[in-house]
Amino acid sequence: MTQQTDKKTAWWMLAPLLLIVLGAIGYPLIRTLLLSFTNARLTGYSDPIQFVWLENYWQAITNSAFRESAGRTTYFVLVNIGLELLLGVLVALLLNQAFRGRAIVRALLIIPLALPTVVSAIMWRWIYNPEFGVLNALLTQLGLLGQYRSYLGEPDLAMNMIILADVWKNYPIVALVALSALQLIPKELFEAAAMDGASAWTRFWRITLPSIIPALTVVIVLRTIEAVKVFDIIFVMTKGGPASSTRTLSFEVYQEAFSSLKAGSGAAYSYLVVLISAVLIFLYIWLLRRQERQ
Amino acid sequence: MKKMYKAFSGAIGMGLVLTGLALGQGNTTLNALFMKQAAYSEEDVQNMTAEFEKANPSIKVNLEFVPYESLRDKTIAAQASGGYDVVLFDTIWPAEYAKNGFLLDVSSRINKADQNKIFTGAWSTVQSKGKYYGMPWILDTKYLFYNTEILEKAGFKNPPRTFQELMTQAEVIKQKNLVQYPLVSSWSQSEALVADYTSYVAAFKGRFVDTSDRPVFQNGGGLKALEWMVDSVKKGLSNPNSREYAEEDVRRVFSSGQAAFALNWTYMYNLTQDPAESKVVGKVGIVPAPGAVGGAAVSAVNGSMGLGITRTSKLANEAWKFINHLTSQKVQNRYAKNSLPIWKTSYADPIVSKGQEAVIKAANISIGAMYSRPTVVRYAEWSNVLQKALQEALLGKTTAKAALADAAKQVATLK
């Protein structure tokens, strides 16, 4: 069999999968992109659709609510990913040590991940409840808080409290990925470094971190995509309140498409969200690659 | 062998006949969309539907229950797929649904003989520009719930009749340290906040829009209403956590005995009388929401809901039959514990009033005083703007006057 025939067969074999991928991902993507250049509305009538080209994008960029939400989303993403990385790597380092009950603790790590986001959001709403919540009970009993307070009713605090809830739900992904990367590092490297007199910090900085960075890059990219489009946890916990202080970009997309019934500009808004996550992802990859080279 | 063959083919033939009969019998399936919380419980709706299916064996009904927040989105999203035949809709949506062709105009199907038998407020729930888009089903408004024990300890024999009087009573209750915050409300950034504000607007005789649909809530009664709400928070009489509460949170705080007053929908009354859900069983009074000095005698927000047929439904006749069953006086009277009937004469029926005499007494006044939120096509956007403005004032980020003026400017552009 020639190489040419081999290639042909390969394409034939791949064709069903490619068709599915193109149909399930490519078609909606292109359809939404085309929709974003129109004035299409969500109605029960077949109203004529006109092309307005970049007008929807321009309207989004000049919309102050959209810009404010973009700022809040960026804050959510950066703080959220930062905390998840810190906590995830620390927990992974801990779970990489040998101790009794390690297997059970590793298994427990899966629980937050296994919970549906809506369930975890309702749970955290209860934890933060200003009259009956356990967080208030805990902090007052420890003497850290004088009296019960509101967490989700204060505009300056609500977003941070949602971030904490989201970090709890998602840091195990970082921890699990980091742990698997840690287990691949040859022990001899650490032993040799220790013999050469390298401190624990130096060993972490020179051996551990560079070894797990490729794995972390993947998880950062995945988590960024998720964090930029955050909606469900916020919708359940605060519905974007108080005074819109937790409204993120997905709320603007939702409002434009469903409250205003503007399918065209809703599509444009969602493409802008994709663009923002793409920029953030490229930035991360560039930064991490630079560090890896160093 | 021949015998076996005969028996086998006989069995197959019989099977085919039975299958045919079964298919012929249940070949009509309606898809209906309902909500999970408040008013009729899921169990109530399931039982009502089972009764309908029993009386109409050729129709099967698939029920889907979603949270209130998803009701509108699901109805709109189903336009492309034609997913539902019957949908539950809120009083704030008919203008939008009618304009965008989401619901079937059922004006010709409405029984003219029933028109005077049903409350006017209920009919307004399903109307837009003189046309009917369904049958009213859930007749609801916000009432003032009060803790009789706290009021007694504070030295008050009667609940407040005006919001000014409520403020005075709340001040005494706070001074006597009976509860930390006498009033609890659902003022989170959601529709519940606009519903509450509407009650206050009605009390202070304000209006949302003038005859030309121009916003006027930023002045007069609309402004006084928000100023009262802000004032109650500043004075520590309203629970500051109200700004993150929805109706269920209000129920929990009131039921735990931590509030003397609460505005909430009818459903709360029966739950406050359930020992598994409440610490204030037997200590709860219910009256129409207060009026205001120089304003209305009582206040009420129209929180009713209707059942309509989607324009994409191919089973409009069957759907209407189902709607007629659910909204019939006979069915509504039997399930009146969680939601009051739309029929005027039902309120004199002992089946309806038994065990909830206080609710019926309040309803008889409140239903006639129901004030509606603006019946504008772009209500969802209106509400988003109002919710933010009301919250900004309640959180002290701006004054009531500035918040409403800004909101009025924004909604004026929503034509």
For residue range A65-106, what is the model confidence (pLDDT) as tens digits?
999 999 999 999 999 999 999 999 999 999 999 899 999 999
Taking CB atoms and an 8 Å cutoff, what residues of chain A touch B190?
A: 239, 241
Smallest CA–CA separation between B153 and chain A, in Å?
23
pLDDT of residue A209: 92
| Minimum CA–CA partner of A237 in chain B | B244
- pLDDT at residue number A124: 98
Clarify whether residues B194 and B236 are in a common domain: yes
Segment A30-57 shows an average pLDDT of: 93
For residue B245, is it left (φ>0), alpha (ψ between -120 and 50) or beta?
beta
User: Does the residue A19 lie in any domain?
Assistant: no
pLDDT 10s digits, A207-224: 999 999 989 988 998 999
Q: Do B136 and B125 form a contact (C-beta atoms < 8 A)?
A: yes
Within this chain, do residues B287 and B235 fall inside the same structural domain, yes or no?
Answer: yes
In a domain, B20, yes or no: no
pLDDT score recorded for residue B9: 52
Statement to judge: residues B237 and B386 lie in one domain: yes
SS3 A51: strand
Q: State the CATH number of the domain containing residue B162.
A: 3.40.190.10
Does B4 map to a domain?
no
> Domain total for chain A?
1
Give the domain CATH number at A128.
Answer: 1.10.3720.10
In this structure, are B274 and B219 located in the same domain?
yes
Q: Is residue B208 part of a domain?
A: yes
Please judge whether A259 and B252 are an interchain contact, meaning their C-beta atoms are less than 8 angstroms apart.
no
CA-CA distances (angstroms) from residue A132 to A127, A179, B264?
Answer: 8, 37, 20
Residue B1 in domain = no
| Residue-wise pLDDT tens digits, A234-286 | 999 999 999 999 999 999 999 999 999 999 999 999 999 999 888 888 887 88
Q: What residues form DSSP beta bridges with B61?
A: B30
Give yes or no for B409 touching A (CB within 8 A): no
B261, B391: one domain: yes
Is the minimum CB–CB distance between A282 and chain B shorter than 8 Å? no
Q: What is the DSSP pairing of strand B135-138 with strand B131-132?
A: unpaired
Closest partner CB to A153 (pick from B243, B256, B311)? B243
pLDDT digit of tens for each residue in chain B (415 aa)?
455 455 555 555 555 444 444 444 457 999 999 998 778 999 999 999 999 999 999 999 999 999 998 999 999 998 877 789 999 999 999 999 999 999 999 999 999 999 999 999 999 999 999 999 999 999 999 999 999 999 999 999 999 999 999 999 999 999 999 999 999 999 999 999 999 999 999 999 999 999 888 999 999 999 999 999 999 999 999 999 999 999 999 999 999 999 999 999 998 999 999 999 999 999 999 999 999 999 999 999 999 999 999 999 999 999 999 999 999 999 999 999 889 999 999 999 999 999 889 999 999 999 999 999 998 999 999 999 999 999 999 999 999 999 999 999 999 999 7
Residue A16 lies in a domain: no
Please list the alpha-helical segments (H only) found in chain A: 3-21, 27-35, 55-62, 64-95, 102-108, 110-114, 117-127, 134-141, 155-182, 187-195, 200-203, 209-228, 232-237, 249-254, 263-293
Q: Which residues on chain A are in Cβ contact (under 8 Å) with B73?
A: 258
Provide the 10 A C-beta neighbour count for residue A37: 20
The answer to whether residue A41 sits within a structural domain is no
Q: Search chain A and give the residue with CA nearest B189.
A: A241
- The verdict on B388 touching A (C-beta cutoff 8 Å) is yes
Give me the total of CB pairs closer than 8 Å, taking one residue from chain A and one from chain B: 84
Residue A146 host element (H or E):
none
Q: From CA A239, how far away is CA A236, in angstroms rounded?
A: 6
Contacts of B257 in chain A (CB under 8 A): none
Residues B49 and B183 in one domain: no
Domain count, chain B: 2
Q: Chain B 23-42, CB below 8 Å of chain A: which residues?
A: none
Q: Which residue of A has its CA nearest to B181?
A: A131
Find chain A residues with C-beta within 8 A of B96's C-beta. 261
Residue B5 inside a domain? The answer is no
From chain B, the residues in CB contact with A255 under 8 A are 381, 384
- Count of other CB atoms within 10 angstroms of residue A258: 17
Looking at residue A1, what is its pLDDT? 53
A150 to chain B: which residues are within 8 Å by CB? 240-241, 243-244
All residues of chain B having their beta carbon less than 8 Å from the beta carbon of residue A129 are 249
CB contact under 8 A, A44 and B72: no
CB B352 within 8 A of CB B346: yes
Minimum Cα–Cα distance from A158: chain B residue: B244
Q: Is residue B262 part of a domain?
A: yes
Containing domain of residue B91, as a range? 28-140+303-367
A68 within a domain of the structure (yes/no):
yes
| pLDDT number for residue B12 | 52
Q: Tell me if chain B has a CB within 8 Å of the CB of A65.
A: no
The answer to whether B73 faces chain A, any CB pair under 8 Å, is: yes
Best probe of the B interface among A259, A260, A265, by most B CBs < 10 A, is A259
Q: Specify the pLDDT at position B17.
A: 47
Sign of CA dihedral B164, B165, B167, B171: positive
Q: Is residue A272 part of a domain?
A: yes
Burial class for A198, CB neighbours closer than 10 Å (0-12, 13-18, 19+): middle
Q: Is residue B18 part of a domain?
A: no
Model confidence pLDDT, tens digit, residues A95-122:
999 899 999 999 999 999 999 999 999 9
Which ipTM was obtained for this model? Answer: 0.87
Q: Which of A224, A80, A243 lies closest to A158, judged by CA?
A: A243
Cβ distance A44 to B384 less than 8 Å, yes or no, reads no
* B173 and B117 both lie in a single domain: no
CA-based torsion, B31, B37, B42, B44: positive or negative: negative
CB–CB contact A255 B243 (8 Å)? no
Chain A residues touching B380 at Cβ < 8 A = 258-260
Distance (Å, whole) CA A228 – CA B360: 50
Chain B residues inside the 8 Å CB shell of A244: 189, 388, 391
The minimal CB distance from B189 to the residues A41, A43, A244 is found for A244
Query: Does the beta-carbon distance from B244 to A242 stay under 8 Å?
Result: yes
A44 within some domain: no
Residue A172 lies in a domain: yes
Measured between CB atoms, does A255 come within 8 Å of chain B?
A: yes
Contacting residues of B for A238, CB less than 8 Å apart: 188-189, 244
Domain containing A108: what range?
A: 64-293
| Cross-chain residue pair A242–B189, CB shorter than 8 Å | yes
Chain A interface includes B66 (CB < 8 A): no
Q: Does B381 touch chain A (CB under 8 A)?
A: yes
Kindly give, in sequence order, each residue whose CB lies less than 8 Å from that of residue B180, ignoring residues fewer than 6 positions away. B174, B236, B239, B258
Which residues in chain B (286-325) have CB-CB distances under 8 A to chain A? Answer: 311-312
pLDDT computed for residue B23 by the predictor: 45
A42 reaches B (C-beta below 8 A): yes
Among B303, B307, B305, residue whose Cα is nearest residue B372: B303
For residues B268 and B385, state if they share a domain.
Answer: yes
Residues B68 and B128 in one domain: yes
Please tell me the distance from the alpha carbon of residue B79 to that of residue B313, in angstroms, as a whole number: 10
Is residue B21 in some structural domain?
no
- Look at residue A225 and tell me if it is in a domain: yes
Q: How far is B100 from chain A (nearest CA, A)?
A: 5
Q: Indicate yes or no: CB of B189 within 8 angstroms of CB of A44.
A: no
Give the pair of three-digit tokens for residue B166.
């409520």
Residues B398 and B250 in one domain: yes
Q: Specify whether B260 is located in the same domain as B406.
A: yes
Contact check, Cβ <8 Å, A242/B391: yes
